[in-house]
A and B are shown apart, each in its own frame.
Chain A
């Protein structure tokens, strides 16, 4: 089983460029999440989705947009990248509501904005 797959694994962007990170899960999970991990700050939730066609803001949503057109995919977009968005991004999915089951994480995407 692939679990949660993130594409790409590494990316370098110039300030102002745009890009989309793709998260795909094959576990038929309803809930999907995008986190960013920065040194000394743990993981912070950017956006999340509780089902196909739904999205909601997390702790640090500014500068990001998301879409969940298909249940298995959750896209994270950066419209105009900034150096402050240099981070490691993790996607996660879970079967039921929060606490119902554990979240499964992707391998992470290391993004550098120069």
Chain B
């Protein structure tokens, strides 16, 4: 069975702090994709990143970085120098690549960044 766990329900930080959102996944497949989505207070879901199971290189995009470690089945997301606009719910998600199956979401982590 596939599962995505985001153990952190809510995180509060002060602006300019670094924050890491954890994502642990379970799958028996060797080929799969992992995603992060952001849901700001306005409610829409915004795609942030997609990573396939064969690419363990870390990725950096501005203040965002992702650490994919197959050995620990984790795909963690770090925001450096957080800003108030980063306040949102962040979802990690998993899908198998060969199956027309569902995109499985974690329960989300609510990040609040205070000025």
Contacts and interface: CB of A to CB of B under 8 A. Distances in A.
Interface stretch (B13-21, B58-66, B94-102): B94-102
Nearest to A38: B107
Interface residues of A, number: 29
B52 A108 contact: no
Contacts of A107: 43-44
Interface string A24-64: 00000001010100001111110010100000101100000
A43 B47 contact: no
A99 B9 CA distance: 26
A18 B5 CA distance: 35
A98 B105 contact: no
A16 interface: no
10 contacts: A31-B100, A33-B102, A42-B107, A43-B105, A48-B102, A58-B102, A97-B98, A98-B97, A99-B33, A105-B45
Interface of A: 31, 33, 35, 40-45, 48, 50, 56, 58-59, 88, 90, 92, 97-108
